[in-house]
A = this chain, B = another copy of it.
Amino acid sequence: MTTSTSLPKNSYVILGLLSFGEMSGYDLKQLADQSVGHFFGSPVRSQIYTELRRLSDLGYAEEREVVQDDRPDKRLYRITDEGLAALRNWLTYASTSNDVVKSHFLLKIFFGKHMDREELIAEVEGYRSSSIEFIELLEQTRQNCGGEPGTLFTFLTTGLGISHARANIEWADEAIALLKNADADYSWKFTDSTIGSSK
């Protein structure tokens, strides 16, 4: 209704972040990296600037130039009422069923037959430790916000991330054990393990 053709996803990502306050493209990149970047990916810099101009053209954001002496001048963007409406519209009508995962790691596992067993196990160990690191990162994110308006949403998104990472660690432990004891043909019998079996 608001617009005939809807914008690319990243436009709404930018719009959404802009709803947190007036920002420059530079600020936006930082914020994206440590927020939506973890569950949606962060647009590259160049695209942020392009998108920002598009949002201005559409009247979804307002530009304001700030001249600085000690630092490069910058352009600050603020979401408009029209922009907020477009964001809301997208949020309510966009489908969430097209969630996409592109896990190179699981691809390797799936095609694991063709890999050296030691390397495969090392890969799983790497996955395990990066999951641990990720948990620490998300827990820090959580501690940087508490009590302020809107923090529930950060709490929820980080919560799911942490839960998944915990699941990764448990899974990795069992996967390593299974890979170590596996036959040469990597056949698997139901009695071998309980990963993912009903608790």
Q: Which residues of A approach B to under 8 Å, CB–CB? A: 9, 12-13, 16, 19, 35-36, 38-41, 84, 87-88, 91-92, 94-116, 119, 123, 126-127, 130, 138, 142, 146-164, 166-168, 170-171, 174-175, 178-179, 182, 185-190, 192-193, 195-196
Asked whether A167 and B156 contact (CB < 8 A) given A151-B186, A188-B147, A189-B147, the answer is: no
Supposing A114-B91, A130-B97 touch, asked if A187 and B149 sit within 8 A by C-beta, the answer is yes
- Are A36 and B107 in contact, CB atoms less than 8 angstroms apart? yes
DSSP class of A's interface residues: helix, strand, loop or mixed?
Answer: helix
Residues of B within 8 A of A195 (CB): 155-156, 159, 162-163
Instruction: Report whether A189 and B95 are in contact in the complex, using a CB–CB cutoff of 8 Å.
Output: no
Question: Which of A104, A147, A150 has its CB near the most chain B CB atoms (within 10 A)?
Answer: A104
How many chain copies?
2
| Closest beta carbon of chain B to A54's beta carbon, Å | 19
Rounded to whole angstroms, the CA-CA distance of A77 and B179 in the bound complex is: 30
Which residues of the partner chain B approach A12 to less than 8 Å between Cβ atoms? 107
Residues of B within 8 A of A150 (CB): 113, 185-187
Picked from B19, B105, B113, B146, the residue with its CB within 8 Å of the CB of A188 is B146
